[in-house]
Structure 1
Amino acid sequence: MSRGADPDSAVALEADRDAVVALWRACGLTRPWNDPVADFDAAIGNATSDILLFRDGDGLVASVMVGFDGHRGWVYYLAVDPARRREGVGRRMMDAAETWLRERGAPKIQLMVRSDNIEAVAFYEALGLERQEVATLGRRLG
């Protein structure tokens, strides 16, 4: 999904913000403590991240946020329109994310899934991702 490689795919621009955030909300990916608009703006305004889109005609079907921190590639906000699930679009978005990360030299791909999201865990495992034996620790900075 490099820029211009596929007429139905693109890298998100500022004008895509409302549609992408609406898709994230429709897919249940947002939480009150995370501002999806700020997440969108940070991703598209950063040289080490992008939001990849898949459109079918004029409509937004899917998105995925990708980033490379210099050590690991990260995937966030993989969203597929609920009416378009089970068509291979999620797999296509993960392929695009992996391509984006490989092009930047990322040696490993990682993502976080809420532990109660059994369907998402099963999706990623079906794609060959494995559970990692790590504890995720964090603290809000603000």
Structure 2
Amino acid sequence: MTAATPDGTPLAPSAPETTISAVTGDDERAVVALWEAAGLTRPWNDPSADLRAALSTPTSTVLGARTPEGGLVGTVMVGYDGHRGWVYYLAVDESSRGAGLGRALMVAAEAWLVAEGAPKVQLMVRETNTAVLGFYAALGYSDQACVVLGRRTD
């Protein structure tokens, strides 16, 4: 896998055998297990429903990083709402962290969103997840000085 940051800077090919492509419904158990192991799920969200919803519309997908043996070691959910691209569920298996796979998944997510026509990419990080904030800052993401408001509809 050869990957680059959005400005074209090559990423270290520390996991050249890993490939990134869209997951399918057949991957549901592995995807959800990875999200749970990475601490991305919450009791009020059904991760299986989130995955199925992302795979059921042409404006979103979930990309997965796989080993040559087919093992799923990373994911990222992307969607384009017609105004902005959004990134969710970026997860890398603990045994594969630190090898550049998170960066490669973000490069793939950004490429997918650009191909969809998204002029801007956004994501949300919980305030308490300070380690991840540093990861995204290193990729060029910054606080957009806005407040995200929400309300459950179910």
Cα 1:75–1:135 change in 2 (3 A) is same
CA shift, 1:39, in A, is: 0.3
What is the alpha-carbon distance in structure 2 between the residues aligned to residue 7 and residue 120 of structure 1?
22
Does the alignment pair 1:122 with 2:134? Answer: yes
User: Which 5+ residue runs of structure 1 have no aligned equivalent?
Assistant: none
- Count residues with an aligned counterpart: 138
Aligned residue type for 2:67 = D
Quick one: which of 5, 8, 25 aligns to 2:36? Answer: 25
Does the alignment pair 1:16 with 2:53? Answer: no
2:53 aligned residue: 42
Does the alignment pair 1:68 with 2:80? Answer: yes
Q: After the TM superposition, which residues 58-97 of structure 1 pair with which residues of structure 2 at under 5 Å, given as runs?
A: 58-97=70-109
TM-score normalised by the chain length of structure 1: 0.94
Q: Contact between 2:32 and 2:48, CA under 8 Å: does it hold in 1?
A: yes
CA shift, 1:17, in A, is: 0.6
Q: CA RMSD in A?
A: 1.4
Aligned residue type for 1:78 = L
User: Which 5+ residue runs of structure 2 have no aligned equivalent?
Assistant: 2-16
What is the alpha-carbon distance in structure 1 between the residues aligned to residue 102 and residue 35 of structure 2?
14
Does the alignment pair 1:136 with 2:140? Answer: no
2:67 aligned residue: 56
TM-score normalised by the chain length of structure 2: 0.87
